[in-house]
């Protein structure tokens, strides 16, 4: 996910959590330049 021209959000979820629909197990990190 990108916003403007200065940032990106990366979402990470394990494949078994994704397959089971456990989106509460997802994590994210924000990076800005």
**Residue range 8-33, pLDDT digits in tens:** 889 999 999 999 999 999 999 988 87
Measure Cα distances from 10 to 3, 14 in Å: 12, 13
Predicted confidence (pLDDT) at residue 1 exceeds the cutoff of 90: no
Q: What is the pLDDT of residue 31?
A: 86
Residues ≥6 apart with Cβ < 8 Å to 16: none
- Predicted confidence at residue 4, as pLDDT, reads 67
The predicted structure's pLDDT at residue 19: 98
Rounded to whole angstroms, the Cα distance separating 31 from 10 reads 8
- pTM passes above 0.95: no
Q: Which residues, in sequence order, are CB contacts of 18 under 8 Å at separation 6+?
A: none
């Amino acid at each position: 996910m990108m916003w403007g021209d200065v940032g990106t959000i990366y979402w990470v979820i394990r494949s078994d959590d994704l397959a089971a629909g456990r989106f509460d197990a997802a994590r994210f990190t924000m990076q800005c330049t």
